[in-house]
Amino acid sequence: MKKILMAFVAVVSFSVLFIGNTEKVMANEIKSNPPIDSRIRFKGYDSNSGQSIAYMNIQSVNNWDYVMSDTLFSSAFYIESAGSGKYRIRSEKYNHEGYNYVVISNIGYLYLAQKEYAESFSFYTQPSGRYSIVSGGNEPLGFYNGYITTGGTRQANWDIIPS
């Protein structure tokens, strides 16, 4: 019984620690409603320096459509409500019929797949007026080696540009 109680205390302590850290990350953010069902483009900025990094663009890699960074071109996207303050992102550009919703691979890369696998995102308005886009796994979108990823090495805030 003592071992069970100790394990319970350890789990609760870890949970409180984790939730506390998550709240600190989101402290300056206000959950918001992005423009839905409108043609838009995303432009990313370094969340620390505010420096422009790149646009989101769909590019085919090994027969998969990945969400990549591109300094010149941007694919068009649509944000759709997934209910309960969550949103799906649909790409206008895709190479395989029915594979046009943003999903996250098991290692954090964003790519396109079918709607039933679409990731649900939350959007938080930053003091700069840009958005922090956070996955259902509570990881912000960022940049890594030319890809848009969750928890990227360069965390990003995003302008949503009507297109």
pLDDT in tens, 63-95: 999 999 999 999 999 999 999 999 999 999 999
**In 3-state terms, what secondary structure has residue 20?**
helix
Residue-level pLDDT at 152: 78
pLDDT in tens, 50-61: 999 999 999 999
Q: 153: pLDDT confidence band, cut at 50, 70 and 90?
A: confident
Identify the CATH assignment for 29-162 out of 2.80.10.50, 3.40.50.10210, 2.60.120.260, 3.30.470.10.
Answer: 2.80.10.50
Torsion of CA 163, 130, 83, 56, to 10 degrees: 50
151 vs 163: CA distance, rounded Å: 27
Residue-level pLDDT at 29: 64
Its pTM stands at 0.81
pLDDT at 8 over 70: no
Residues in the chain: 163
pLDDT in tens, 15-66: 333 333 333 344 456 888 899 999 999 999 999 999 999 999 999 999 999 9
pLDDT at 138 over 70: yes
